[in-house]
Amino acid sequence: MDPIIILQAGVASGTVLLFATIGEIFSERSGVLNLGVEGMMLIGAMSAFSTAVATGNPWLGMIVAMIAAGLLSQVHAFITINLQADQVVSGLSLTFLGTGLSLVLGEGLSKAGTISMLPVFSIPLLSQIPFIGAVLFTRQSILVYFGYLLIPLAWYYINRTRPGLHLRAVGEYPAAADALGISVYRLRYFYVFIGGVFAGLAGATISLAISPGWFSEMTTSGQGWIAVGLVIFSQWDPWRAAFGAYIFGALRRLILDIQGPMILFGINNPFFYNPYWGFFLQMLPYAFTIIVLVIGSREAVRKRLGAPAALGLPYIRGERGL
Amino acid sequence: MGKVMKMKSPTSWNPFHYRIRFEKRLQDPPRWYPFVLSFGAIVLALVLGGLVIAQAGGNPFRSYAHIARASFGNLGVFSDTLVKATPLILVGLACSIAFRMRLWNIGAEGQFYLGAFGASYVVLRPWLPPETSAWIFIPVMILAGLIAGALWGFVPGFLKARYNVNEIISSLMMNYIAVAWNNYFIYAVWSEGGFQMSRMFPRTAWLPRLADYATQVPVFRGLTVHLGLIIGIIAAVVLWVIIYRSRWGYEIRLIGDNPQAAKYAGINITRNTIFVMMLSGALAGLAGVSEISGVVHRLQGSISPGYGFTGIIVAWLAKLNPFAVILVSVLFGALILAGREIQPSGIPKMIQGIILVCLIASDFLLRYRVRIINLQEEA
């Protein structure tokens, strides 16, 4: 129950949610709601692990995971952008598809052996900072450090660059973007792909770095859905997404650790003496997601901001047909 | 001048003299068309699934032949198929009533678990002594399951109506909570002899099966079809009447088709959101009751191979029509029944996913028609 260890591990497992959430922010900012995050993460985790087992190279596994999940996301892109199907139903079906595919292709993979993990290291100097250094910069996976870089980069890209402006335009007012000569379809395809790539990276982060291995559906255990919830909480902002993701990561770790010690805060630890109460602890991340959704939704109403205006709506250009 | 423009148009380099064009349908397609389309989507899905199976080192023909034989091969296995179809009918109905209002209840799995919990609570708490007559036992269990499922549906419905919380995520999160909730009772409270299951229910708490009447009707010997199937069919009829023949059903359909118009018509969307989610949860809970007292006869962990999620596909494939839900459920019951023995074990889930993707994609052809245009004629 060392708070530093909990936060350190929380940042590590929060990185999974961070990647998935930021990927989904890109997709939703372009106006495409993709509920297939869970499926894409499973495909990513499965293909990353199987590639790493087969080749011995976790980097290759990571790249394959990103490509595989990115390709899967294009099924959703085609169905919602070209075929103008309901994004909710299509995203749901993508989760089914991704889950089923990863189960079939990952058959027997759970006993496939061990892999060499992605490098884990401490950052010199920064790791010397008291507390923060120990939590953020000591013995973390390289992907965790990449996560730190991704947050400001994603924010800068969305809010301060020209392509980011186009991204927001396509998600807020596609007809106007179209009139300016921005290809709505192409950009939406691209950002759905980006969302898939990051979901795949999130899956690879699980199977190559955080808890290596393939445990069929339990590999992600609903984290893809939590990420979709975090996007709403984050109000489509990478900084708030990071905040939520790391809190969730710490919560997951806290639930594991709280059952360990016999004495907790000077009293007999009830979770140690009633191990079955652990089932109620297991509910916490999911109950917390619902609470976070209530907070996010209320705030959206109060501040009169919220989802990109065109989120969930297909764009059909005048008489162009397809 | 016109000729030059034609040269520059992208069709001019087309080596074929034909081009496919999609045009928006101006009138509704014939009645048979959606069914043919869905059938075509399933065939396409099976072909695609076969390719993946072959890729994963299996034999798709053997897999499919096995599914057909193991689910429709004789009366005995067909009865087992119907047993698997029973919870799917109820869950499919649960999803279709919610989807009709465009409420995406994907928490049917959790509501199913809670329904099973509610029924078990009556037996194991125990509310009713084991020697209670089945005529009292079964209705009370059904009532408890309906209430428990409705409560589980109430939470996302209320949050949606009151705080505009996305019901997809909240209802899905409730699934995980439901599983942990049941596990607590299975492991800690009702565990029998340290096993992760409760004690067996008394016979009076079992839904009657056809096999129970084998002494009177010898053909019924070994047939596992239970009362739940009848309950499912009754529920389908009731739901059909609600949706198509009642004022409430009209309100639900209007909200689903055009929420703005419904609002101007003075329909209370808040109340309907909560009620429909509760009805949906109650139906999914009923599926849990039927499964727990018709098949499993005790509370344990793995009571559902994802019925709640398959119900979503069933509802969509049935185009939200209660009677079509029954037919589609039988097909998917076969897939689940046969799928238990197929390797790799993920195949049924994958095929379900592919079917859903193909179905959604095929809906495009309901709204658009394909035309093949002869470019030379047009020129």
Size of the A and B interface in Cβ pairs below 8 Å = 164
3-class secondary structure, B20: strand
- pLDDT score at B350: 86
Q: Please report the ipTM that was assigned to this predicted complex.
A: 0.88
pLDDT at A319 over 60: no
pTM: 0.89
Who among A92, A100, A283 is closest to B312 (CB)?
A92
Q: Is A294 within 8 Å of B316 when comparing Cβ atoms?
A: no
- pLDDT score at A322: 31
SS3 content of chain B, % helix, strand, coil (to 5): 70, 5, 25
| Shortest alpha-carbon distance between residue B189 and chain A (Å) | 9
Joined together, the tokens standing for residue A235 give 């109000």
Asked if residues A194 and A23 have their Cβ atoms less than 8 Å apart, the reply is yes
Cβ neighbours of residue B24 closer than 8 Å, sequence gap 6 or more: A321, B367, B368, B369
- pLDDT score at B2: 38
Q: Going residue by residue through chain B (379 aa), what tens digit of pLDDT does each one get?
A: 334 444 444 445 566 677 777 888 888 888 888 888 888 999 999 999 889 888 877 788 888 888 888 888 889 899 999 999 999 999 999 999 999 999 999 899 999 999 999 999 999 988 888 888 889 999 999 999 999 999 999 999 999 999 989 898 899 899 999 999 999 999 989 988 888 899 999 999 999 999 888 888 888 888 999 999 999 999 999 999 999 999 999 999 999 999 999 999 999 999 999 999 999 999 999 999 999 999 999 999 889 988 998 999 899 889 899 999 999 999 999 988 887 777 777 788 888 889 999 999 998 888 888 887 776 665 5
Q: CA of B239: how far to CAs of B107, B109, B244, B248, B318, in Å?
A: 19, 20, 8, 11, 14
Asked if residues A291 and A155 have their Cβ atoms less than 8 Å apart, the reply is no
CA B226, B230, B236, B239 dihedral sign is negative
- pLDDT score at B82: 96
Q: How far apart are CA B343 and CA B339, in angstroms?
A: 8
Give the type of residue at B246: S
The DSSP output letter for A263 is E
Contacts of B367 in chain A (CB under 8 A): 84
User: Minimal Cα distance from A223: which residue of B?
Assistant: B173
Asked if residues B177 and B186 have their Cβ atoms less than 8 Å apart, the reply is no
CA B222 to chain CA mean position, Å: 27
Contacts of B364 in chain A (CB under 8 A): 83-85
Joined together, the tokens standing for residue B369 give 């028609």
Q: Which band of pLDDT confidence, cut at 50, 70 and 90, is reported for residue A223?
A: very high
Name the helix (H) or strand (E) containing A322.
none
> Exposed/middle/buried for B302, CB within 10 Å: 0-12, 13-18, 19+?
exposed
Who among A107, A226, A297 is closest to B346 (CB)?
A107
Asked if residues B56 and A105 have their Cβ atoms less than 8 Å apart, the reply is yes
| Shortest alpha-carbon distance between residue B240 and chain A (Å) | 23
Domains recognised in chain A with CATH numbers = 3-303 (1.10.3470)
Q: How far apart are CA A303 and CA A79, in angstroms?
A: 33
Asked if residues B322 and B342 have their Cβ atoms less than 8 Å apart, the reply is no
Contacts of A79 in chain B (CB under 8 A): 357, 360-361
Q: Is A100 within 8 Å of B23 when comparing Cβ atoms?
A: no
Joined together, the tokens standing for residue A89 give 């139903």
Average pLDDT on A107-112 reads 84
Tell me which residue of A124, A150, A151 sits closest to A139, measured CA to CA.
A124
Q: CA of B286: how far to CAs of A55, A175, A208, B147, B231, in Å?
A: 49, 47, 42, 9, 9
Average pLDDT on A104-117 reads 84
Neighbours of B341 (CB within 10 A): 10
Q: What value does the mean pLDDT of chain A take?
A: 90
Q: Is A104 within 8 Å of B180 when comparing Cβ atoms?
A: no
Percent of chain A with pLDDT over 70: 98
Who among B52, B166, B353 is closest to A232 (CB)?
B166
- pLDDT score at B4: 40
Q: How far apart are CA A149 and CA B238, in angstroms?
A: 57
Provide the angle, in degrees to the nearest 10, between the axes of the packed helices A162-172 and A3-29.
70
Query: Would you put residue A52 in left (φ > 0), alpha (ψ -120 to 50) or beta?
Result: alpha
3-class secondary structure, A118: coil
pLDDT at A168 over 90: yes
| Shortest alpha-carbon distance between residue B311 and chain A (Å) | 12
Distance from first CA to last CA of chain B, Å, rounded?
14
Contacts of B354 in chain A (CB under 8 A): 97, 100
Parallel, antiparallel or unpaired: strands A267-268 and B18-24: unpaired
φ, ψ of residue A263 in degrees (nearest 5):
-110, 130
pLDDT at A283 over 90: yes
